[in-house]
Amino acid sequence: MEFLMAGVAACGACVFTNPLEVVKTRMQLQGELRPRGSYPRHYRNVFHATYTICRADGWPALQRGLLPALLYQFCMNGIRLGTYSVIEDAGYTSTQDGRISGTRCTLSGALAGVAGAFLSSPIYLVKTHLQTQSTSTIAVGHQYKHEVFQPGSWLVSLTAGMVSSIFVVLAMTPFDVVSTRLYNQPVDRKGKGVIYRGYLDCFARTVRKEGLYGLYKGTGASYFRLGPHTILSLFLWEEMRKYYWKEKRATQRQAPGQL
């Protein structure tokens, strides 16, 4: 039940924050492997990107990839928050004298986050491909045209992206940029990436071509999204847990009298 409540809470938050995820994804792919100033900047900042997408693709484009985004949040945060809750209820986050251990909480959270990122990685791949698609006038990154499941079109990007997704949980923005690019890179007929050979190659080439700036593209959109999403997810999760345990205790109290 903990996994279900955590997943539903994350989905509720995702409905409101998915537009910022679309903006973040496109800003991270803008000017990929090109020096700063050598490409047209379709998206200058979060607000300009939102306006540009609405003007060129229509406001529904801000919710592009919503279905896989909801499924991703359900799996990712359902596993992450649910696993942490199970670990906490089992007493592994506390010392023998009952005190909360910061070290154990951190390790438990990291373990739960890594598990969620790894298992939900295939859905993140689909989400990224759909959110990238746009009209040619503002297109950035590779445009897959819904061909994500053709043989050989996703395995390399998925495998490499899994590694980066795990680091995203631990270190955020630079690894998020690398993850987005790995998931969205085109592959050849043999299933080999045509741009990056893997996580380290993507990281190194981005720095070499774009400088450190390239690793922080979409930072504004990422943190504009992160705050509301985290607050909404935890609020909805906590409220559902309160209601669930209240009803469960009430049922347990009534049970003896019904016999």
In the chain, the number of structural domains is: 1
Long-range Cβ pairs for the range 48-54 (8 Å, 24+): 49/23, 49/221, 50/19, 50/23, 52/138, 53/22, 53/23, 53/26, 53/134, 53/138
Position 256 in a domain: no
Position 252 in a domain: no
- Provide the angle, in degrees to the nearest 10, between the axes of the packed helices 2-29 and 46-57: 90
- pLDDT tens for 199-253 read 889 999 999 999 999 999 998 998 899 889 989 998 998 899 888 888 888 887 7
Please, what is the average pLDDT of the chain?
Answer: 84
Position 63 in a domain: yes
Position 14 in a domain: yes
Nearest to 30 by CA among 169, 165, 220, 256: 220
Give the mean model confidence (pLDDT) for residues 13-31.
Answer: 96
Give the mean model confidence (pLDDT) for residues 59-86.
Answer: 90
Position 48 in a domain: yes
Residue 55 has pLDDT above 50, yes or no: yes
Position 144 in a domain: yes
What does the pLDDT read at residue 170? 47
Residue 98 has pLDDT above 80, yes or no: no
1 or 68, which is more confident? 68
Nearest to 175 by CA among 142, 217, 140: 217
Residue bearing tokens 């409101």: 16
- pLDDT tens for 164-186 read 555 554 456 788 888 899 889 88
Position 247 in a domain: no
Residue 151 has pLDDT above 50, yes or no: no
H and E: helices and strands count for the chain: 9, 0
Tokens of 197: 């050979």
Give the mean model confidence (pLDDT) for residues 63-88.
Answer: 89
Position 248 in a domain: no
What does the pLDDT read at residue 259? 47
Give the mean model confidence (pLDDT) for residues 138-143.
Answer: 92
Residue 142 has pLDDT above 70, yes or no: yes
Check: CB of residue 232 under 8 Å from CB of residue 17.
yes
125 or 165, which is more confident? 125
Tell me which residue range forms the domain holding 78. Answer: 2-241
Percent of the residues in the chain that have a pLDDT greater than 70, as a whole number = 87
CATH code of the domain in which 228 resides:
1.50.40.10
**Alpha helix (H) ranges present in 90-154?**
102-119, 121-132
